[in-house]
Structures are given as structure tokens and as C-alpha cells.
Structure 1
Amino acid sequence: MKTEQVRGGTHTSNIPASVFAMPPGMRMRYDAPAPALAECVTAYAVYAHDGSIPAVNWFMPAPPMISVVVDAGPLCVSIRNTRFGPLSRASLYGPTSRAFCAETNGGIMVGVGVSAIGWARLARRMASDLHNRVVPLASVFGAGLSNRLTDGLDALHDDADIKPLLDDLLAPLLARPHPDEPLIRRFSVLMLQDGVVESGDAATRLDIPTHALRRLSQRHFGMTPKLLLRRARFLRSFLALMRTGEPADYSVIDGSYFDVPHFLRDAETFLGTTPRRFLQNANRFLHASIVARAAVLGAATHALHDVASPGRAPTSPAAKRTNSPSSPAPTPAP
């Protein structure tokens, strides 16, 4: 699949082409998986760059993602002070609690977002083993899946063919339900609600012991319930700030924050800097991908995807503000 040969990357069905507008030489596309995979796969994403100038693209903290590159130069990923790469053609990005950047040198990157239910069905190991790590896909899921993905994508000539290929490859691997799925669904919904930030409160609402919630969270989500709930609260608040176009409008942040310094401490944890500085450093790619993802999938970021109602935005007040695709992403404030 040659970068310059690929067609059909400007829009998906019923989505205005303007949602996917990118600078010259860059392209993106989002697709929802087949309905049978909707609880397991949060999105298919395609990012392409012509390679004339190396690019640094920022990503939000997120659940696991399978990444395959096609006709690409060396790709490296940095998660805070740890650098991974050059990466294998097929890699697995583990669950992250920190923003990370990818240094690309042209080519196409195809991403498959994996939900906690998807992880439960697909993986034998603890998701927490890969917290804030990037590893070869074959080291976790075997060379068979890695080879089928790379060979299949190499044979394509149109972005629109990526979704059917991935649906066909993943369907048999994600067919068997896991016994923990009812609890995973309930905990996933709980994470999208304003004000739920304590693991003890979450365990009470789920009617399970705290230690059972901790085991479930680390096994399928990749981190402790407290960190997971804090990440969700921060991302809801941060994306709401982005929608206002004013990174200092703290009136939109989650009501469970005691004060602004409390929110800014979370910003340091999850972004490594203040929201204003992060938005100054993040290039157009991050802003464009947030708008495009919200338009196609309902949630502006992978970590806030509603697995209980795939394709629909979460229903909490902050999530409604965050996920509305009706207005463009703001330009970073000076």
C-alpha cells in the first residue's frame, strides 16, 4: 500500500470531508468496526504523511492500541522520558497514563484501538504488564497476527479497504466472550460519570470488594482503578477546556476537583506540563484527530469511548461538552 497511491482517505460515509481536513501531504481517516466488534475495538484510525519533513505528533493517554506502519521510515515513540524505537512494523502500544509523542518519517500508520473487553478476549496476560510501554505485536499476540496484518495492509490500494480487512482478521480472534465482561461494562460506564474518582466508591457502586476491582482494573484496563478514574476525569476536563478555546476557563472542569491547583497537578501527571503549554506544543494533528474521531465515533478520545453504547458519545455533562463534533478544535492559545 503505497502512500502516494492510496485513495479514498478524505471521508467516511455520511461524514463531511471538512472534518478530515489536514495540511498538504497529510491525511487521516477514522472508521468504526463492524457491529459484532464494537465492544472490543474502539476505532480504526489511519494517519498518513508524505515524509518530506519528519513529524512529531502528540497522542492523549489511552487504552491499548495495535499499530501497523506501511511504507514508513523509522518510527519512534516517547512516553515521558522513555524512548521506544525504532519500532517494529507491527507494534502494541500498552495502556498509557501519560501523553506521548510519535516521531514519524513518512508513510502510513494504521491503528486499532483495543477496549478492555477486547483485551479480555484477545490477551492472556495482564494489561498492566504493558503500562506506558510499546512492544512488538508479535511478542504479545504471536507472529501469526503480526504477519497477517502487515501482509494484508501491504496488498491494499485504498484506505476504504482497511476496515473490511481488519474486521475479517479480528472477528475470529474476538468471538469468545470473557466471564468478566459484565463487570468491565459497568466499570467502563462508571468511568464516564462526573465525580467518580475513588476506587472505594467505585467498588461500592459495582457491589464488589475493592481488591476485586483492583484485580479487574489491572488485568483488563492496565492500571489501578484510582489511576484509571483520575485519567478519565482529567481527560473529560481537559477536552472540555479545548472545546472552549480558552485553556484557562476552569469553569468547565469536573466538579470533583477541589480547586485549580488540584486540576493542574493532574495535568502534570497526565500531560507532563500545563494544559496551556501542552496545547502550544501539540501540532494540528492532535486537534484535527480529536474533531475527526468525535464526528465518526462519538467520543473525542480513545480513553473516553463508551463501550456500553458503541458509536455514541458518553452522557455525562462534561462528556457532552467534550465529545460534540459540531465546532472545530480551537487554535492553541498564545
Structure 2
Amino acid sequence: MNIDQVVGGTCVAGVPASAFAMPPGMRMRYDPPHASLSDYLTGYAIYAAESRAPMVNWYLPAPAMISVLVDAGPVSVAIGNHRFGPLDRVSLYGPTSRAFQTVTHGGIAVGIGVSALGWSRLTSRLAGDFRNKIVPLDTVVGGVVARRLTEGLDALSDDAMIKPLLDSIFEPLFLRRHPHEDLIRAFTTLAVTDGVIEMHDVAERLGIETHALRRLATRHFGMLPKMLLRRARFLRSFIKLIQPDGRIDYSAIDSSYFDASHFLRDASTFLGTTPRRFLASETVFLKASLRARAAVIGTPTQALHVAPSPVVIRPGRGSPGFQDELPG
């Protein structure tokens, strides 16, 4: 597949073409995974740019993601003070706790979002070991998957064929059920619930001790519960306060923020700057992605995605095996 074969859009009926509007020479596509994968993969994003000149883009903190480069120039990424690149053709982005900057040189990038539930079935590695890091995918799941992705995408002639290809490659990878899936799903739901910010409250709702919640979060979500809850609260607020005319409306921030200055402290943590300055930087693909993802999948960003049919359970403190099974 080459850049000329990417048209953009989605397989979902009824989504207007305006949801994928991009500047000249750039195109975007968003597709949901097959229903059998919707617990484990949060969506398929395809970005394409004709120009081979360096292009800078900023993206919001997010859960884990797999990125595949097709007919693309070198890509480098900065997460805080850490630099990664040139990236392998197939890379795993670990969960991120701050915005990150990419420098691309045209071509096609295919992003596959991985939920915490997906992580639990994909690998036994601790997600926390990959926080704010990018590694070749084959170091985590072996080289066969990476080869199937590159060879399969290279052979396509139409971007509408990307979704069925990815579905077929990933479906066999999520067959192994994790024993704590109900807890992972329930915490996923609580983490994106307006007003939920206290770790003790979450542990109480889940019916587990706080130390067990910390282990669960680090293993499958990639960071401590408090950071996850703060990240979700900030992103809910940040996305809601963005106005079409560029204004920042602080009345839309989450109810658990004391005031705008409290919110701005979180902005410094997760963006490294103020919301106004961040939005004024190079965010062409980010802004288009927020719009397209909301139209296709229902939530504007992967970090606020909830797996279908969440089940909130109360296994009771000291449930057999759970408190001691997860490593610290």
C-alpha cells in the first residue's frame, strides 16, 4: 500500500465525511475493531501525509498502542526528556502519562489502541515496565506478529482493507483469558467516571485492598491508580473545555477540581505546558483525531475508552488468590 491508496473515512455507516477533514496532502481513517475484539482493541487509526518534509505533531497521554509504518520516512518520538527513534516499522508505545511529540517524514502510520484488558491477554509482561517508553513490538510478542503486520499492510491496495486485515491478525492473540478480567474491566470504567478520583474510593467500590489495586493498575494499566485517575480526569476536562473558536472555557472542567488553578497544575503534569499553549502548538493530526474518533467510536481519545458491557463486581476483601497473586 502506498500513500495514493489511502482515501480516508471509515467503514461505519452514517459518519459524515466532514469528520475526516484534513489539510491538503493529509488524510485520516478511523475504524472500530471487530466486535469480538472490542474488549481488547480500542480502535484503528490511519494517518497519511504526502509531503516528505519533517512534520511535528503532539499527542495526548494514552494507554498502550501498536504503531505500524507503511511507505513512511523515519519517525522519532519525544516523551518528556526521553527520545526514541528512528522507530522500527512496528513499535509498541507503552502507556503514557504525558503528552508526546512525534517528528514524521510522510507516508502512512497505522495505530492500534490496546486496552488494559487487551494487555492482560496479549502478554504477561508488566505494563508498568513500558510506561513512557517505545520498544519494537517483536521484543514483547515475538517477530511473527510484526511480520504479518508489515507484509499484510504492504500488500494492500485500498485503505478500506486495513480493518479486516488487522481483525484477522489480532483475533488469535486474545484467546487466553486472564483470571482478573472483571476487576480490570470494572477499574477501566471507574477510571473514566466523572468525579471519581480517590484511590481508596475505587478500592472500596471494587472490594479490594489499596495495595492490590496498585498491583492491578501497574500490571495492566501501566501506572499507579492515582496517576490513572488524574490522567482521565484531566483529559475529560481538557477535551470538554476546547471550544470551536479556540476559546478555553474553564466552566467545563471536572467537578472534582477545586478551581482553574488546580486544573492548570494537572495541565503542567500531563501536557508540560498550559492548555492554551499546547493547542497553539503543532496538533493538526491530534485535533483531527479527536473529531474523527468521537464520530466513529464514540469517545474522542483512547484514554477515555471503555470496553463494552462493563461489569462492576465486589469480590470482597481478601478474595482467594487476588491479593497475593499480582506481583508488585
Same-fold status (TM-score > 0.5)? yes
Aligned to 2:11: 12
Aligned to 2:165: 165
* Equivalent residue letter for 1:273: T
**Alpha-carbon distance in structure 2 between the residues aligned to 1:87 and 1:167:** 24
* Equivalent residue letter for 1:12: C
Q: Cα distance 1:309–1:58, how it changes in 2: closer, same or farther (>3 A)? A: farther
Range with bigger deviation, 169-178 or 115-124: 169-178
Aligned to 1:314: none
Tell me if 1:39 matches 2:39: yes
Contact conserved, 1:185 with 1:308, CA < 8 A, in 2? no
1:280-319 CA-to-partner distances (Å, cap 9, x unmatched) read: 1133221111000000000000000011349xxxxxxxxx
Contact conserved, 1:188 with 1:308, CA < 8 A, in 2? no
Secondary structure of the residue that 1:277 maps to in structure 2? helix
**Alpha-carbon distance in structure 2 between the residues aligned to 1:10 and 1:189:** 28
Range with bigger deviation, 298-307 or 192-201: 192-201
Give RMSD over aligned pairs: 1.3
Aligned to 1:68: 68
* Equivalent residue letter for 1:24: P
Q: Using the TM superposition, give the Cα deviation of residue 180 of structure 1 relative to its aligned residue in structure 2, in angstroms.
A: 1.2
Aligned to 2:78: 78
- Runs of 4+ aligned residues of structure 1 deviating over 4 Å after TM superposition are 243-247
1:29-73 CA-to-partner distances (Å, cap 9, x unmatched) read: 000000000000000010011134321111110000000001111
**Alpha-carbon distance in structure 2 between the residues aligned to 1:193 and 1:245:** 27
Aligned to 1:330: none
1:150-173 CA-to-partner distances (Å, cap 9, x unmatched) read: 111111111010000110010011
Q: Where does structure 1 lack aligned partners over 5 or more consecutive residues?
A: 311-334
Q: Using the TM superposition, give the Cα deviation of residue 7 of structure 1 relative to its aligned residue in structure 2, in angstroms.
A: 4.2
Q: Where does structure 2 lack aligned partners over 5 or more consecutive residues?
A: 311-328
Secondary structure of the residue that 1:307 maps to in structure 2? coil
Aligned to 1:278: 278
Tell me if 1:143 matches 2:135: no
**Alpha-carbon distance in structure 1 between the residues aligned to 2:244 and 2:154:** 41
Q: Using the TM superposition, give the Cα deviation of residue 17 of structure 1 relative to its aligned residue in structure 2, in angstroms.
A: 1.1
Contact conserved, 2:25 with 2:49, CA < 8 A, in 1? yes
* Equivalent residue letter for 1:77: V
Contact conserved, 1:28 with 1:47, CA < 8 A, in 2? yes
**Alpha-carbon distance in structure 1 between the residues aligned to 2:6 and 2:219:** 39
Q: Using the TM superposition, give the Cα deviation of residue 246 of structure 1 relative to its aligned residue in structure 2, in angstroms.
A: 5.2
1:84-103 CA-to-partner distances (Å, cap 9, x unmatched) read: 00000000000001001111
**Alpha-carbon distance in structure 2 between the residues aligned to 1:104 and 1:24:** 17
**Alpha-carbon distance in structure 2 between the residues aligned to 1:298 and 1:124:** 30
**Alpha-carbon distance in structure 1 between the residues aligned to 2:16 and 2:55:** 26
Aligned to 1:53: 53
Aligned to 1:211: 211
- Give the alignment's TM-score, normalised by structure 2: 0.91
Q: Using the TM superposition, give the Cα deviation of residue 140 of structure 1 relative to its aligned residue in structure 2, in angstroms.
A: 1.0
- Give the alignment's TM-score, normalised by structure 1: 0.90
Range with bigger deviation, 131-140 or 245-254: 245-254
Q: Using the TM superposition, give the Cα deviation of residue 11 of structure 1 relative to its aligned residue in structure 2, in angstroms.
A: 3.9
Aligned to 1:316: none
**Alpha-carbon distance in structure 1 between the residues aligned to 2:56 and 2:226:** 31
**Alpha-carbon distance in structure 2 between the residues aligned to 1:229 and 1:64:** 16
* Equivalent residue letter for 1:134: I
* Equivalent residue letter for 1:56: V
* Equivalent residue letter for 1:97: S
Tell me if 1:178 matches 2:182: no
* Equivalent residue letter for 2:256: S
Contact conserved, 1:48 with 1:108, CA < 8 A, in 2? yes
**Alpha-carbon distance in structure 1 between the residues aligned to 2:145 and 2:182:** 27
**Alpha-carbon distance in structure 1 between the residues aligned to 2:9 and 2:184:** 35
Aligned to 1:29: 29
Tell me if 1:130 matches 2:130: yes
Q: Cα distance 1:206–1:243, how it changes in 2: closer, same or farther (>3 A)? A: farther
1:85-122 CA-to-partner distances (Å, cap 9, x unmatched) read: 00000000000010011110011000100000000000
Tell me if 1:300 matches 2:281: no
Contact conserved, 1:189 with 1:308, CA < 8 A, in 2? no
**Alpha-carbon distance in structure 2 between the residues aligned to 1:292 and 1:175:** 30
Q: Cα distance 1:7–1:249, how it changes in 2: closer, same or farther (>3 A)? A: closer
Secondary structure of the residue that 2:242 maps to in structure 1? helix
**Alpha-carbon distance in structure 2 between the residues aligned to 1:282 and 1:263:** 22
Secondary structure of the residue that 1:83 maps to in structure 2? strand
Residues 234-253 of structure 1 mapped to structure 2, 5 A cutoff = 234-243=234-243, 245=245, 247-253=247-253
**Alpha-carbon distance in structure 1 between the residues aligned to 2:100 and 2:248:** 22
Tell me if 1:87 matches 2:73: no
Aligned to 2:120: 120
